[in-house]
């Protein structure tokens, strides 16, 4: 992607050429129809290499009989192939970065075809095992660079189809709250009346509860609010989850990277990431054509560099994680390569007093920006559901007043 035309540049900026919007090291895809032929070649190569790892199992009894060997010994026909892939996959992937992905793929495919002919001509078990070992090295070369080749073949705007990315964090209130929060207020009232021994003032319509809880909040007697709690499910990145668990007077239940194997089908076989709001979208053709000054072109170039630096970091993390899992590491071991923007789910349960503290800390303009994305809308919602408890806390959202950084309490 580039923008070198000056037709959208004002006359005063013609002396300064607009910067080209091109990625530093990644070609933006192959043109059609070359793209289709390239992806077909990769698909066929990876298909036969994977198929050859399992199809031999069916023929093992016949092969053992033809080679006059025992079935137990013939298992090395399969083991040799799998071991060759396992010990060489990572090394060949690194060689692809050094020598070029196309060269490694071509060498691997040629080796795979040649050794397949050797396997067909083998007349003894040792010769067949050696041929299968070499065939495994060829299959490893094919598998090690196929993802990198897809990066080159497809335009970058299409690559996100293979990488799960949630653009926005979100929350869900799990606790059922009664209309106007009346039942919750009555629970607090019932506890608080014990202190004053004024149970006789309780009214069934909840009006006495509203007045008492409002009085408690204004007087700062918030200990009574600890007798009611709220559970919220947050979908966010792990950086925000790390911020949430710093609130110690709360209980947490979080999606575990120790037990969740993201290469499994239940997760779609891919990782999901939360794109922080400060990571810009990739500039598209419309935004490039609309640029009318050198400064706007520079801004688009900067956005492009930031977006792709973040995207490729996520893509590399996913590739590394899957490689570690494929080579026998458990999820709790492979998770060491996962970034902080990995999507997670975490349930936070806290009493009303602690939620008031969380909102006061996490909704001011000076608070963590991503945390405000979650907490400000959540505060506005709980204010509608239980106004007596939370309506004295306010936030500048969504129209932030960047000059106000003080107390959030009315």
Q: Residue 275 has what DSSP assignment? A: -
pLDDT at residue 390 in the model: 93
What would the two tokens of residue 162 be?
């293979």
Residue 52 to residue 30: CA distance in whole angstroms: 29
- Torsions phi, psi for 211 (to 5 deg): -65, -40
Q: What share of the chain is helix, strand, coil (3-state, %, to 5)?
A: 60, 10, 30
Q: Report DSSP letters for 128-142, one per residue.
A: HHHHHHHHHHHHHHH
Q: Decide if pLDDT at 342 tops 90.
A: yes
For the chain, helix (H) and strand (E) counts, in that order, are 15, 6
Specify the DSSP element, H or E, that contains 236. strand 229-237
Across 40-44, 105-109, 226-230, least confident range: 40-44
Higher pLDDT, 337 or 91: 337
pLDDT grade, residue 251 (50/70/90)? Answer: very high
Tokens of 346: 């975490």
Angle at 223 between CA 222 and CA 224, to 5 degrees: 85
What pLDDT does residue 223 have?
Answer: 93
Where on the phi/psi map is residue 271: left (φ > 0), alpha (ψ -120 to 50), or beta?
A: beta
Q: Which two tokens stand for residue 128?
A: 């067949």
Coil, strand, or helix at residue 162?
A: helix
Asked whether the predicted pLDDT for residue 407 surpasses 50, the reply is: no
Specify the domain boundaries for CATH 3.30.1360.170 within the chain.
170-253+342-390
Higher pLDDT, 266 or 17: 266
Higher pLDDT pick, 161 / 223: 223
Residue 167 pLDDT exceeds 50: no
Q: According to the model, what pLDDT value does residue 340 have?
A: 93
Least Cα distance to 52 among 122, 121, 140 occurs for 140
Note whether 225 and 355 are within 8 A (CB): no
Q: Is 398 helix (H, G, I), strand (E, B) or coil?
A: coil
Q: What does the pLDDT look like over 131-160, one tens digit per residue?
A: 889 988 988 888 888 777 776 776 655 554
pLDDT at 397 over 90: no
**What's the confidence (pLDDT) of residue 366?**
86
Pairing of strands 272-274, 251-254: unpaired
Q: Torsions phi, psi of 252, nearest 5?
A: -130, 145
What's the CATH architecture for 170-253+342-390?
Answer: 2-Layer Sandwich (3.30)
Query: Which pLDDT band holds residue 168 (cuts at 50, 70, 90)?
Result: low
pTM, entire model = 0.58
Instruction: Fill in the DSSP letter of residue 267.
Output: G
Judged against a pLDDT cut of 50, whether residue 15 lies above it is answered with: no
Over residues 188-216, mean pLDDT: 92
The answer to whether residue 176 scores a pLDDT higher than 70 is yes
pLDDT of residue 400: 46
The pLDDT assigned to 158 comes to 54
Q: Which of residues 189 and 22 earns the better pLDDT score?
A: 189
User: 47-61, 72-86, 264-278 — which is least confidently predicted?
Assistant: 47-61
Q: Look at residues 346, 320, 347 and name the one whose alpha carbon lies nearest to residue 334.
A: 320
* Least confident residue range of 4-13, 258-267, 273-282: 4-13
Determine the Cα–Cα distance for residues 58 and 123; give it in Å rounded to an integer: 19
Checking if the pLDDT of 165 tops 70, the result is no
The answer to whether the CB of 273 falls within 8 A of the CB of 339 is yes
Average pLDDT over residues 331-346: 94
| 357 or 55, which is more confident | 357
Lowest mean pLDDT among 59-68, 171-180, 212-221: 59-68
- Distances from the Cα of 246 to the Cα of 132, 242, 249, 291, 302, angstroms: 54, 7, 9, 44, 34
Collapsed DSSP state (helix, strand, coil) of residue 234 = strand
Measure Cα distances from 14 to 7, 198, 291 in Å: 10, 81, 13
Q: What is the pLDDT of residue 402?
A: 42
Q: What is the spatial distance between Cα 208 and Cα 202, in angstroms, rounded to a whole number?
A: 6
Q: Is pLDDT larger for residue 9 or for residue 135? A: 135
């Amino acid at each position: 992607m580039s923008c070198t035309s000056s037709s959208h540049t004002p006359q005063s900026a013609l002396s300064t050429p607009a910067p080209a919007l091109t990625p530093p090291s990644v070609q933006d895809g192959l043109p059609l129809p070359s793209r289709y032929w390239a992806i077909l070649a990769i698909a066929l190569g990876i298909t036969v290499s994977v198929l050859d790892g399992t199809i031999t199992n069916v023929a093992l009894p016949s092969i053992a009989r033809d080679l006059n060997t025992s079935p137990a010994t013939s298992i090395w026909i399969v083991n040799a192939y799998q071991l060759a892939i396992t010990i060489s996959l990572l090394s060949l992937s690194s060689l692809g970065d050094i020598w070029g992905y196309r060269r490694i793929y071509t060498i691997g495919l040629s080796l795979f075809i040649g050794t397949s002919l050797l396997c067909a001509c083998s007349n003894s078990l040792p010769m067949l095992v050696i041929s299968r070992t070499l065939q495994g090295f060829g299959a490893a070369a094919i598998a090690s660079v196929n993802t990198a080749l897809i990066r080159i073949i497809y335009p970058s705007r299409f690559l996100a189809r293979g990488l799960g990315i949630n653009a926005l964090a979100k929350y869900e209130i799990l606790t059922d709250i009664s209309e106007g929060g009346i039942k919750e207020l009555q629970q607090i009232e019932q506890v608080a009346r014990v202190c004053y021994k004024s149970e006789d003032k309780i009214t069934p319509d909840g009006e006495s509860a509203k007045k008492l809880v409002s009085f408690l909040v204004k007087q700062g007697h918030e200990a009574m609010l600890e007798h009611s709690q709220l559970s919220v499910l947050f979908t966010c990145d792990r950086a925000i989850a790390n911020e949430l668990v710093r609130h110690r007077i709360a209980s947490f239940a979080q999606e575990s990277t120790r037990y969740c194997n993201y290469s499994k089908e239940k997760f779609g076989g891919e990782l999901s990431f939360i794109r922080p709001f400060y990571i810009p979208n990739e500039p598209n053709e419309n935004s490039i054509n609309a640029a009318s000054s050198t400064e706007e072109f520079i801004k688009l170039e900067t956005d492009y560099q930031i977006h792709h630096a973040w995207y490729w970091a996520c893509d590399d993390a996913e590739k590394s994680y899957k490689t570690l899992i494929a080579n026998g590491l458990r999820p709790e071991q492979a998770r060491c390569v996962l970034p902080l923007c990995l999507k997670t789910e975490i349930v936070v349960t806290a009493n009303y007093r602690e939620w008031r503290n969380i909102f006061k800390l996490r909704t001011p303009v000076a608070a963590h920006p991503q945390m405000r994305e979650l907490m400000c809308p959540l505060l506005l919602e709980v204010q509608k559901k239980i106004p007596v408890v939370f309506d004295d806390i306010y936030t500048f959202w969504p129209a932030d007043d960047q000059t106000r950084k003080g107390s959030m309490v009315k």
